[in-house]
Every structure is written in C-alpha cells, then in structure tokens.
Structure 1
Amino acid sequence: MILDVHISGRLVAKLYRERDEYVLKYLPGTELADFVSLTMPVREEPWRWPRDLFPFFRQNLPEGYLLGVIREEFGAMLDGTDLSLLGLVGGTGIGRVSITPEGVQPGIDMDPLEITHMLQAENTAEHFAELVRQYARVAISGVVPKFIAKDASHNQQPLGKPTLRTGFHIIKGSDDNTPFLGFNEFYTMHVLERLNVVPVATCQMSEDGRVLVVDRFDVDEQGIPHYGLEDACGLLGLPPHEKYRPTVEQVWNATRSYMGADRLREQREHLGWHLLTNYVVRNADCHAKNIALYYTSQADVGFTPVYDLVTTQAYPRFAASPPGLSLGGRQTWTPGRSLETFFKSVLSIPPAQYAAMVEQLCQSAVEVGHKVIEASKNEPAWRDVAKHMVHAWNDGMETLRSAKAAPQFRGLDNAIAEAGFSGPRKPESRGEVVGRSELLAKKR
C-alpha cells in the first residue's frame, strides 16, 4: 500500500512500507516550507522508521471508543496495520497534513451538524453513539467518545477540489466512567481561561452537561487546516500508547529545541501555567499527547492553546491516579519544592513569580468553584461531579500553596459547607490513569 501525503491539499510525499521499515519519500521539487514534520524536514534521501509507522503519523490515529466504531463500520477496508487505518481516516484530521490512498484527493464529504441544536438537545448515550458512527471517518486521537464536525450555521462557499476544508469543531461526549464530562471539562478549562495569561481552547458546554464542543485552533475562518501540529509524544519518537512514559523534563527538552530564541520566555511561561493548572484542578491525564506544538512555519513554532483540562479526581475510577507525567523523578500531587525548583532551574521562572502564578490559579479556582456549585443547584444531576470537582480543587490548592499540607489554604471549604456537600467518596482501588490500558506493564 502506498499513501499520498499532502500539505494543505498539496501533494508533497509518498508513504509506504519497504520490508521491515516504513518510508517517507518527498517528491522532487517539494518546497522546504512543505515539510511534513519538524522531525522530518524536506530532503532528497528518504526518511525511514523501523518496524512501526512513524510516530508523527500515529499521533492522530483513533483510539479507544472511536477506534472500535471504525473497526465495526469499516473493517473490510482495514488489513490490521496502522498504515491501512491511516489511509482510511487520514484524509480529514487535525493539522495541515492529510494522508490518502495513492491518487485520492484529501477530504471527505461531511454532513453539516446543527451545533446549536446539539447544545440544546438531550444527548443520550445512544444518540451520541450514532453521531460518532456518522462522523467516524476522521483522524482524531483520544479514548473518550469524540468526533470532528462542521457547523451548519457556517454558510461556506465552494472552494474547489484542490482545497481541503474540514470541521470547525471537535465534539466530545461522556461515557460511563466519566459522566457529565462536558460539565467537568468546561468549568475546569475556565479556571485557566479566565486569567487570560495563555491561549486556551474555546469551548461550549451542552445544556445537559454531557457534551463539550471545542473550537479547533488549527483551521482558519473557512475551516481550512492552517497550522501544523505535533504532540510531544511524537516528537520524542514514542507511539501513542507510551504517552505516560516521558517526564516533564523530557517533554520540555523535546519541544524547546524547535522554538526560536525570541519565543522561549513566553513559551516557558506557557508550559508553566499549563503544569500548575493540572496540579490545582487535579488533572491526572496531562500526558505527552496533551502537550503539543503548532506552527505555520519553522519560524513561529510554539505551544498550542491549552486543551483537555479535566478534573480526573472527580471520578472514582481515576481519583487515585497520580500526575500523568513525572517531575523531578516523582509522580505525586504533593511535589514539595521540586515543582518550584523545576520552574526556577529549567523554566527560568523565579520563586516570587512562581508563587504569584500559584496564587492567581488558586483564586481563579475559588471563583470558578462557586460557579460550579451554583450550576449544580440548578441541575441536580450535576451535583455529584460538582461536589468531587470542588473537593479536588481544594486538595490541589492546599498542596500547592504549602510544602506541607495546610488546611488553612483550602479556599472552597466555606462554599462546600454552605452547599451541603458531603466529603468525597473513597477512590476505587485500581488507581488507573485515564487512557492507560490495564494490559500495559506498570510504569518504570
């Protein structure tokens, strides 16, 4: 099987397997600006990767629920390899690179979705599963039910066959392990978003709290993929299932090498805000695929807007999970001085600035925590997840504000008591990390 590789609709390379290697071969005359990946610049000599598909091409391959749907719907078109899966879904996905079977133009016919209607509808599991099946043939990673869609309200003019236009939105649903995920992620994202210190993906929550509509940041106003996008997992040469293996230090070293010196200061702070937010809101699912770079050229490489912030501790199955990436040789929610030391020695953020960032996030968590509690008063179905979200944020504030757990730093105690919330339930004993397979060996 030979696949065509396109940059913003322009054919630039061939991707195929040769004996025990995968090969990416740029076409003669390909412009230097039309590189497929930061790790594989344009050159005459083919790029080769042993045994498995290049990590870059695996970064957007479907996982979990969506992968199961694709196998059910399109199993006859798959031969069991990642190459055939990429050929099936790669024509429409995230980022400026699209992949199709040889001779096939990128893009697929995608029926518009009434986003406003979906935000107001009752999104039952059965209804959302049907939508996932309808929009399944796209390249998007992640284990929760999700798909890409374009909003029917956008009155788009035809752009011609050579132009690839994809959906404006990523639609994320809930499952049995993460009920009301839309509610959880919407308010968790707001803790960082309201500070306006770094870009954060824009999102809307459905009225029933089950669905989150995330605006894509890799497309322009016409829905044309404009940015290249590469996650840290791929930059480290790792397959997606090893996304929890790297350390924060390794992620920073893998991403910083592609950034211009004039952008390093703001990018250090960007990563710093992202990391601290995970500790405050207790998001155990910040792995190497949730930290990514985007760019229009090698001159403007930087971190993407922050996305996929979820209070994982609010769900019993994942409540005992540690941070997804180790830091200072440890995976713990009580990092002591190691987090501050990392900020000072690696990110060049002095202790006074670090302390101020922590306080800003904690104050924001308190403000948003009151909104979470108020929302749960209006919708009783959200009460359980809301209760565990604010308990988790209380824990996060307590351990970040003090090297020793200090109850006086729990900023939501009074609000929790006034809401009549009981204490958090005991976590399930499995201690799983969101997205980590139970079949994998324990992390070293």
Structure 2
Amino acid sequence: MRLDVQVLGRKVAQLYRERDEYVLQYDAGVAPTDFVSLTMPVREQAWRWPRDLHPFFRQNLPEGYLLGVIREAFGPLLDGTDLSLLAVVGGMGIGRVTVTPEGVPPGTDLAPLHVEELLAGDNTAGHFAELVRRYARAAISGAVPKFIAPESDGDEAMPLGKPTLRTSRHIIKGSDDSTPYLGFNEFYSLRVLERLGVVPVVKARMSQDGRVLVVDRFDVDAHGRPRYGLEDACGLLGLPPHEKYATTTEKVLNATRAYLPAGTTRAQLLQLGWQLLTNYVVRNADCHAKNVALYYTALADVTYTPVYDVVTTQAYPRYATNPPGLSIEGRQTWAPGKSLERFFNTRLGIAPRDYAQMVEQLCESAVEVGREVIEAAKNEPLWRGIAKQMVHTWNEGTNTLRGPKRVAGYRGLDAAIRAAGFSDPEPPEPFRVSVGRSELLAPRRKR
C-alpha cells in the first residue's frame, strides 16, 4: 500500500512500508517550503522510521473511543497497521498535511453539520455517539468522544487545491459517563486564562445543556481552508501517542523551543508559562506532550498554538487523585513548592517577581470565573454537581499555588462556596489495584 502525502492540497511525497521500515519519499522538484514536518525537511534521501509510522503521521491518529468507532465502521478496510488506518482517516486531518490512498485527492463527502443546531439540540450520550459514528472518518487524536465536522455554510463549497469540499471549521467534543458535563467544565476552565487576554486561547462555545464544546479550529483560515502546519511535542520528541505522558516538561520545552525563530523566544516562552500555570490552578492532570504544540505557515513564523484542552480533571472523582501529566524537576505533584518557580526562572527566563504576578493574576481570575460557575449552576440545577466540584478544586489549586504564607491576604472561593450552599467535594474513587499487585491474581493467603 502506498499513500499520497499533500501539503495544502499539493502532492509532495509518498508514504509506504518497505520491509520493517516506514518510508517518506519526497517527489522530485518539491519546494523546500512544502516540507511535511519540521522534523523531516525536503530532501532527496528518503526519511525512514523503524517498525512504526513516523511520529508526525501518528500524532493525529484516533485513539480510545473514536478508534473503536472507526474500527467498527471501517473494519474491512483495515489490515491492523497504522498505515491502513491513516489511509482511512488521513484525508481529513488537523493541519496543512493530508494523506490519502495513492491517486486519491483529499476531500470528504460527509454531509455538513449545522453547529447552531448542535449547540441547542439533544446531546445525550447516545445521540452524541451516533454523531461520532457518522463523522468518524477524521484524523483527530484523543480518548474522549469528539469529531471533526464539515460546517454548513450555505451551498458554497470551499476549494482545497483542485478538488472542492466542505471544509471543517470546528472540533466538537462530547461528554461520557465518567466525565459528565465536560463541555461546561472545559468552557469555564479555559475561561480562567482566556479572560485575562494575555495569550491566545482557543475560541469555544458550550452547548445549552453543557454536555458539548464546539471549538474553532486554529489551523484553518477565515474560510475554513487548511493553512497552518501543526506539530505537537509528542511527535517532535519522536514518541508514539500512547507515550504522551512518558516524558517531562523540560523535554517538551527543549523539543519545541528548538524551532522557535530568533527574536520571538521570550514572548513564546511566556505563553508556555501561562499555559503551564493555568493547569496548576484548575488542576488539569491531562496536560501531556500532545497538548503542547507548534503551528506555522513557514519556518519563519513558528509559534506555540493557542492554548487548548484545559479541563478540571480533579472535578471528577474517578480522576481526582491524578497528579500533573508531566513532571517538573522530576516531581509530579500539585504542591510543587519552589521547583515550579525555579523552572520558570531558569528554563523560561521569567523572573520570580513576574512569576508571582502571573500566579496572582490567574488565582484572581479563578475566583472571578468560579463565581460565574456558581451563578450558572443556579440557573441550571443539573450543573450543580460539576460546578461544586470545580470551585472546590480551584479553591484548593489557588491556595496551593499561592502558598500558606500568602493565602490569608488574598481572596479565595470559600465565601462563595458557603453562600452557594455547596457541600464538601465528593471523595475520590479509591484505587482498585495496588502498586505491584494485579487484581487478577488470587488473593494472598492469611497468615
């Protein structure tokens, strides 16, 4: 099997398997600006990767829920390799690169989705699962239910190269039984950073029932046409997606910083700092190497993407004991002490005074947005449970980041929580498997 690789609709290379290696071979005469990946510039010699697909092509392969749906829908087209999976989903991915079977132009024949109807409609788990099955043919990573949908935009189709298609403008994310009202959670978690206006944050809308989040894609232009290349730190590190937690914040920084143009580094590292701090304030344990990414139109304008995928994971009892996804100075803890400040100072070039101001701005923002969360829950009783969990988590997050010496002099959410009549947070679900002990083993004998 050979696949055609296109950049902005122009075929530039072929991807295929040769014995125990995967091979990317650029076509003759391809311009240097039409590189497929920052890690694989245009050259005559083929780019080879042993055993698995090159990390760049694996970064958007579906995982978890979506992968199961695709296997169910397209099983006969899959031969068990990532190459066949990419052949099915690669024509409608994230970023400026598309991958299709040899001789097949990129495009999609999916019916457009009316986003406004989705925002106001039925978003129960069953209905959303049906939407995912309908729009499953899309290259997008992540374990939670989500899909890329062509947006209805009248009857005009937008061109991409020679073929015409309805381009995708949104990523649509739903809830499941273990993460109820995820749209509500992520919308307000993102807002803690977004309302400060200090760095780019994805534009997102929550459905009326709080179950779905519609996120505007930032890799397309105003008409929905693919424009930007996008590469996450996981791929830049050469890691497969399932190893997105098997690295450190320091390594993620080094892998991404190497491609930042001279003269922009300071501002870009400040943006990364805001993203990292936000995760500590709202307790997002799911910030891994795939949630820090670069995007670009050329080598001269590589920057960090707008901040995305910020969720208060600790609000869900099933995930409440999860530590940060990436370690700093070898530690994965929500109480990092001076190690986080040292990282900002020595690695990001952010002075202690500036770090303290950033912390306080985010903590104050969490208090303000926390009050918004409480107010929203007054108007919709179904959100009361997740709202309670979120504001308790943010209160703990701000107190921990500020430190015990500073908490007394600053506003928290204690008074707002009491005024809302919220009870204590739900206890974390206990671990069912102890370290080094499988639950499948026979019980130990009593002595």
TM-score (norm 2): 0.94
CA contact (8 A) 1:317 1:431 kept: no
Work out whether residues 165 and 222 of structure 1, in 8 Å CA contact, stay in contact via their aligned partners in 2.
Answer: no
Query: Hey, what does 1:320 align to over in structure 2?
Result: 321
1:362 aligns with 2:359: no
Instruction: Give distance in 2, aligned partners of 1:403 and 1:14.
Output: 58
Post-superposition offset of 1:156? 3.1
Offset of residue 170 of structure 1:
0.5
For 1:261, the equivalent position in structure 2 comes to 262
Q: 1:404 Cα deviation (Å)?
A: 6.8
Corresponding letter in the other structure for 1:18: E
The equivalent residue for 1:8 is 8
What is the one-letter code of the residue matched to 2:4?
D
Distance 1:287 1:408 in 2: 33
Q: Cα gap change, 1:235/1:93 in structure 2, threshold over 3 Å: closer, same or farther? A: same
Report the counterpart of residue 303 of structure 2 in structure 1.
302
Cα drift, residue 430 of structure 1: 2.8
Distance 1:158 1:304, change over 3 A: closer
1:249-308 deviations in Å (ceiling 9; x for gaps): 000000000011111011110000000000000000000000000000000001000000
- Structure 2 residue aligned with 1:52: 52
Equivalences for 1:169-318 in 2 at 5 Å? 169-318=170-319
The residue that corresponds to 1:330 in the other structure is: 331
* Alpha-carbon distance, 1:123 to partner: 0.9
CA shift, 1:100, in A, is 0.4
Q: Is residue 56–residue 230 contact of structure 1 (8 Å, CA) maintained in 2?
A: yes
Q: Which amino acid aligns with 1:338?
A: S
Match of 1:350 in 2: 351
Greater shift in the superposed pair: 153-162 or 50-59: 153-162
- Following superposition, the deviation at residue 153 of structure 1 comes to 3.9
1:128 aligns with 2:128: yes
| Contact 1:15–1:25 (8 Å) recurs in 2 | yes
Partners of 1:134 and 1:162 lie apart in 2 by: 22
Question: Residue type of the partner of 2:340?
Answer: L
- Please state if 1:25 is matched with 2:25: yes
- The Cα shift of 1:323 comes to 0.2
Q: Structure 1 17/404 Cα, relative in aligned 2: closer, same or farther at 3 Å?
A: farther
Cα displacement (A) at 1:166: 2.4
State which drifts further: 206-215 or 114-123.
114-123
CA–CA separation in structure 1 for the residues paired with 2:413 and 2:432: 25
8 Å Cα contact 1:164-1:225 kept in structure 2: no
Provide the residue aligned with 1:442 in structure 2.
none
Aligned residue number for residue 397 of structure 1 = 398
Q: Which amino acid aligns with 1:150?
A: P
The CA deviation at 1:165 is 5.3
Please say if residues 181 and 210 of structure 2, whose CA atoms lie closer than 8 Å, have aligned partners that are also in contact. Answer: yes
- 1:353 deviates by 0.4
Unaligned runs of 5+ residues in structure 2 are: 434-438, 441-447
Q: 1:249 to 1:165 in 2, by over 3 A?
A: farther
Q: In structure 2, what is the Cα distance between the partners aligned to 1:431 and 1:256?
A: 40
User: Partner of 2:83 in structure 1?
Assistant: 83
Q: TM-score, normalised by structure 1?
A: 0.95
- 1:374/1:338 Cα in 2 relative to 1: closer, same or farther (>3 Å)? same
The answer for the alignment partner of 2:67 in structure 1 is: 67
Please name the residue that 2:436 is paired with: none
C-alpha distance in 2, partners of 1:120/1:262?
45
State the Cα distance separating 1:328 from its structure 2 match.
0.9
1:213-245 deviations in Å (ceiling 9; x for gaps): 000000011211100000000000000000001
Check the 8 A contact 1:8/1:226 in 2, yes or no. yes
Offset at residue 407 of structure 1 (A): 6.5
Give secondary structure in 1 for the equivalent of 2:263: helix
Aligned twin of 1:144: 144
Rounded to whole Å, the distance in 2 between the matches of 1:379 and 1:301 is: 42
Give 1:429 deviation, angstroms: 2.1
- Give a deviation string over 1:40-69, Cα, whole Å, max 9, x none: 000000000011111110000001111100
8 Å contact kept, 1:151–1:169:
yes
Alpha-carbon distance between aligned partners in 2 of 1:306 and 1:146, rounded to the nearest angstrom: 18
**Count, aligned residues:** 434
The residue type equivalent to 1:330 in the other structure is R
Runs of 5+ unmatched residues, structure 1: 433-437, 440-444
Output the CA distance in 1 between the equivalents of 2:136 and 2:157. Answer: 24
Query: AA paired with 1:52?
Result: D
**RMSD between aligned residues:** 1.7
> In the alignment, what sits opposite 1:373?
374
